[in-house]
Amino acid sequence: MDGLDDARGARALLSPETWARIVKIDNSHPKGAWRSNVYPKTVYALVFELSGALWLYTDAEGTQSLSRTLGTLARDEADPGPLLRAIEPGIGTWEWVDEPSGPPAKQSANPPKACVEESLQALSRRIAQGGETISPRLLFYYVDTPVGRLGHTVLVFRTAKGLSAIDPQVSARAVIVPSDLGTDLRSIAEYLRGAPVASAKAFPITPSRRDVPGSWVALPSHGSPTG
């Protein structure tokens, strides 16, 4: 499966106002295939904007940051090729996929490893319903498994009652995080998961800033997709 339906499904989870495009990537570069043990020869992925940076979703690995710096959206959107090759130098050519007009194209109702996109959808729904949502962030946490380190993402935000979280893959309802956990992200992640985690990081969800000089994008780190 090339991932086109899943890329469309992930895009459908995002707000209509979000800049998002599907990209077709050639995975048959003669100098080395892009993660050939994971991807087919043709890879369809979703590139979208969040908090001043571009992000990449694939159904095989989930979502990871694509931009290397903040404040360079116009350049990154015009040519994401160097960013794609920064993740994996072995990829071949790429091109945007222009969706035809008319009825919606086929898309996956439940794209795999789309916890980032599902968390963003949960935020949009909560805001639309008038729910209190102060300082929303994506909480990324990582777990060591026999097949390597895997990541997962949930939505965290503050209300008058304190820190709350939504894990759309568990429930649409917000969970209040015990105040005695403080601000330690790993402890918060372990409480939400109900089991130990290897590490945890957070990324603020903010309006796009296209006029801010570049500063390094650090979350989640390249090579550590979450899904």
- Same domain for 89 and 119, yes or no, is no
Question: Predicted confidence band at 223 (pLDDT cuts at 50, 70, 90)?
Answer: very low
- Dist CA 33 CA 31 (whole Å): 7
Picking from 66, 96, 126, the residue at the C-terminal end of a domain is 96
**For position 222, what pLDDT does the model report?**
45
pLDDT value at 219 more than 50: no
Task: Give the chain's domain count.
Answer: 2
| Mean pLDDT score, 182-188 | 96
Asked whether residue 102 is assigned to any structural domain, the reply reads: no
Asked if residue 170 and residue 137 are part of one domain, the reply reads yes
Averaged pLDDT of the chain? 85
Amino acid 199: pLDDT: 95
- On whether both 15 and 52 belong to a single domain, the answer is yes
Q: Which whole number is the average pLDDT over 172-194? A: 96
Shared domain for 129 and 183, answered yes or no, is: yes
Q: What is the pLDDT of residues 145-166, one digit of tens each?
A: 898 889 999 999 999 999 999 9
Tens digit of pLDDT for each residue in 42-82?
889 999 999 988 999 999 889 999 988 877 888 999 999 99
Give yes or no: residues 200 and 120 share one domain.
Answer: yes
C-beta of residue 136 within 8 angstroms of C-beta of residue 123: yes
Asked if residue 101 belongs to a domain, the reply is no
- Whose tokens are 């050939």? That residue is 36
pLDDT at 220 over 70: no
What is the amino acid identity at position 127?
I
**Is residue 218 predicted with pLDDT exceeding 60?**
no
Same domain, 31 and 91: yes
**Residue 85 shares a structural domain with residue 41:** yes
Percent of the chain at pLDDT > 90 equals 59
Residue 35 belongs to domain spanning: 4-96
- 191 confidence band (pLDDT: 50, 70, 90): very high
Which span out of 16-25, 37-46, 207-216 was modeled with the highest average pLDDT?
A: 16-25
Whether residue 207 has pLDDT greater than 70 = yes
Shared domain check, 85 and 10: yes
Residue 212 has pLDDT above 60, yes or no: no
Q: Give the sheet arrangement for strand 162-166, strand by strand.
A: 175-176, 162-166, 148-159, 134-145, 199-204
207 vs 121, more confident: 121
Instruction: Tell whether 227 is covered by a domain.
Output: no
